[in-house]
Structures are given as structure tokens and as C-alpha cells.
Structure 1
Amino acid sequence: MTTSPETPTEGIPVSDLESQTAYLDAAATTKRFTHPLHTPWLDNVKRGAAILDYGCGYGRTLDALDQQGFDNLCGFDTSPGMIARARSLHPAMRFVVLDTLPALACPDASIDVVVLFAVVTCIPSDDAQLLLIGELHRVLKPGALLYLSDLLLRDDRRNRDRCARFAESYGTYGVFETGDGTVCGHHPSDWFTSLLAGFETIDTRRTTVTTMNGNTSTGLQFLARNPASRHQTPTH
């Protein structure tokens, strides 16, 4: 990314990143997010560290971070409905609507931790996912952390059938339409490894999550570090 420190990336229309904004607006007051925050991964992060939640939804994960004593928190989401609910639930926190993706109105190398929970699954295009990771790389300080949690591609009959059914339409296996009007993608673990190739993986863990539509799925979480330059020291 060639973004200047004070200006977000040149505009990429929301539609070009296949945003699920309309669906999320409709779901803002009814859906529940369940990806767990594994707090031991953040034990060594200073409580005043700048933490950014990309795809924050209604602020559930930021609330969990607040309860751990972190006090420099900001959430970004494409859905005005989700942001409205987040502001209502957590009026003391800062929430921002993203209207030009994947750009963040953050200076280069200004963030200590980015949280990215159940966001990749909502971006069907591989290229769009790579653009997002590039933008997160831009805003993270050298030595800073990226905490990703998402859904693994599963091999049960239900998931095989629906992935096969939509493979031709979307040009890839793993992207599918749900019955309530959104498009999701599940990925094998090696895709996440490729996606985070520019980071240093610190740890991974598997967990069980309940999807927005109430189905049980397998989640994969990555804790990764933005490589530090030779002359800079990590901030945690």
C-alpha cells in the first residue's frame, strides 16, 4: 500500500469488495456473534495499547477487551446498523462506519493490535481478502499483533453439498449463499496461512463456534505478528 500516513487508501467501492452491508444492517438487532476472545494471547499487551476491531459488528469483542482493562479501543464496520447498535450498547466507545473499503482513516504504523473476527468469511473474493490484509499490514506498527478468527471449510455432507452447488456460480469451492440472503465463504487452514504470509505466526488454535444462523462450526484462530524492522522494537 502506498497510502500517506494521514489519508486512507484510494477508494475501492464497497461493492467491489463484495460487502455484506445490506444483510448486516437487516441482521443488526437479531444476530448474535460467538467467536471467543482467547485472552491469554493478549496477556503481554499493554492496557493502553491502540486496539482496532475491523468488522466490529455490535461491539461484542471490544466489550470483552474493555472488561480486560484495555482502554484505547476503536471499532470499524461497513454496516451502519451494526454501528448504531454498538454505539447504543457501548456509548463510551468509539465506532466508525466504513464507507470506502478496505481503507482505514488511520496513519501508517499506528495500531498495536488488530482484531479480525469472522470477517474473511464475509468476503468471498480472494483478491478482496488480500486487499484487506494489506491495509491492516499498513496500519499495524512493526511488531504489532493481528488476531484473526474465522471459519474452516468443513467436510460434512451438508457443507459439501452446498459448496458444490454454488461452486460454478462463484468460480470456487467453499463460497455459498445462505437461506437468509448473504454470501459466505469457508476456507481450508492453508488458505489462512497464505493470507497471512506477510506476518509471523505466533500461535494457532481451533475452537467451536455457533454461526449467525445457529449452526455449529469449527473456527480457526491465528495470532500473528507484523514483522519488526531491524531498528524498531515491538510495542507489547
Structure 2
Amino acid sequence: MADLDSQIPYWDAAAATKTFTHPLHLPWLGGINRHAAILDYGCGYGRTLQDLEHQGFDNLTGVDTSPGMIERARLLHPAMRFTVLDEPPLSPYPDAAFDMAVLFAVLTCIPTEEAQHRLITELHRVLKPGGTLYVSDFLLQNDERNRIRYDRCATHYDNYGVFETDDGAVFRHHPRSWFPTLLSDFEARGSRHITVNTMSGHESTGIQLLVRK
């Protein structure tokens, strides 16, 4: 994965200060066995895994490209399993190792389409047949601040929706039409729009998707 699609120095520097806010939609978890093997890819400091634990799930694994994020996760959640990814998007797990994978606000951190496809291919590999992928991410925003950012970066990154932040990161917001293409190897099970705060505190529109292998 190219440096642009991992940005490890940025995430290591941000590990102690950033707060993640994408919510779990509890009705989507109702039919999942509480002993199911769940992978949180791009787990950060383990916030979503903690939410899953609070719902009774007990077989939880988190992976992230950022050693700083994993260090924070291990301090906050010493009983959980966390691994730093050495060669993202590849993970150290065998085929069909997990019943479910969650991918919360990770695609926004991967600007290029090629890298996003590689990640989804890896998640497809480690999910069992019939396994569930739960995606939560950001849609294109319609406010002036974001439109200016998209326009400024569109030519340089050859992708409308990619933008640079004041603190040195490159992120991406997505048209809704992108997700069926990206997740074409999965069967759609659910979709919902959400309102969520970004790491900088701006209210934004997001999307959550539930798909099945």
C-alpha cells in the first residue's frame, strides 16, 4: 500500500488525541452470535471493539497500520487482541477466519481506488462464506467548505472528493455510487445514512452498509 494510502506517521502522531465517533447500529447485530469471530480492520484505539464488547461479543480482534494506535488500544483494552499490520492491506490470518469484519471510517483514510479494492479483497478472503462486512464511512458533503477542498485537490489527486487537512492528512469522501462498485463481490443486506462528527468536530453525512460474502 502506498504511503498516501496508509499515512502511518500522521496516525502515530494523532494516536493520543483523536476521537472516533461512527456508531454501531444495534439492530444489525441482533442475529450475530455473541461468540462470532469479529475483525475490526483499522481499529485505531479500539473504540468500536469496546462498543462490541459492551454488546456481549467476546471473540474480538483489532488490526491497524499505526503502531501508535495499537499501543493506545493495548493500554485501554489489555484483554483484547491487537496486531500491527506490517504489509497492509494483508493481514496475518488464514482464509475464512472470521464471521464478521467491521470497517469504520477506514476507506476515508485510503484515497486511491486501487488500494481500496485491495483492502476489500483482503477482507473478502478472511471472511467465512456467509460472513458479514459492516462498513461505515463518509459521503461527499454539500457544504461550501468541503466543496472548496474537493475542487482544490481534484486535479492533483485525480479524484473528486479527496482533500487535504490543515494538520497534514489526505482523506477522501465518497459518492454513494462508489460503494456498490467497491463491494460488488458481496451481497447487499442493509444501508443507512448517518450524521457523524469528524475528528475535527464538523458534523458530516455518512453511510453505513451491511453486506454478506
Category of TM-score, reference length = shorter chain = over 0.9
Q: Which residue of 2 aligns with 1:27?
A: 14
Aligned with residue 216 of structure 1, among 192, 203, 210: 203
Cα deviation 1:195-215 (Å, max 9, x = unaligned): 111100100011111111111
Aligned partner letter, 1:26: A
Query: In the TM superposition, what are the counterparts of 1:187-202 in structure 2 within 5 Å?
Result: 187-202=174-189
Query: In the TM superposition, what are the counterparts of 1:58-207 in structure 2 within 5 Å?
Result: 58-207=45-194
The separation in 1 between residues aligned to 2:54 and 2:155, in whole angstroms, is 45
SS at match of 1:41: helix
Over 3 Å off, 4+ runs: none
Cα deviation 1:206-233 (Å, max 9, x = unaligned): 111111111111110000000xxxxxxx
State the shift of 1:18 in Å: 1.9
Aligned with residue 40 of structure 1, among 19, 27, 30: 27
State the shift of 1:17 in Å: 6.2
- What TM-score, normalized to structure 1? 0.88
Contact 2:4–2:170 under 8 Å retained in 1: no
State the shift of 1:172 in Å: 1.3
Aligned with residue 44 of structure 2, among 57, 61, 67: 57
- What TM-score, normalized to structure 2? 0.98
The separation in 1 between residues aligned to 2:36 and 2:163, in whole angstroms, is 37
Q: Percent identity?
A: 63
State the shift of 1:15 in Å: 2.8
Q: Which residue of 2 aligns with 1:234?
A: none
Contact 1:151–1:220 under 8 Å retained in 2: yes
The separation in 2 between residues aligned to 1:23 and 1:213, in whole angstroms, is 14
Aligned-residue RMSD, C-alpha? 0.9
The separation in 2 between residues aligned to 1:33 and 1:211, in whole angstroms, is 8
SS at match of 1:193: helix
Contact 2:13–2:68 under 8 Å retained in 1: yes
State the shift of 1:68 in Å: 0.7
The separation in 2 between residues aligned to 1:151 and 1:53, in whole angstroms, is 18
Cα deviation 1:173-201 (Å, max 9, x = unaligned): 11010001100000011101111111001
Cα deviation 1:133-166 (Å, max 9, x = unaligned): 0000001011010000000001221111110001
State the shift of 1:62 in Å: 0.2
State the shift of 1:16 in Å: 5.4
State the shift of 1:64 in Å: 0.5
Q: Which runs of 5+ in 2 are unaligned?
A: none
Higher Rg of the two aligned structures: 1
Contact 2:138–2:207 under 8 Å retained in 1: yes
Cα deviation 1:47-101 (Å, max 9, x = unaligned): 1100000000000000010111111000000011110000000000000001101
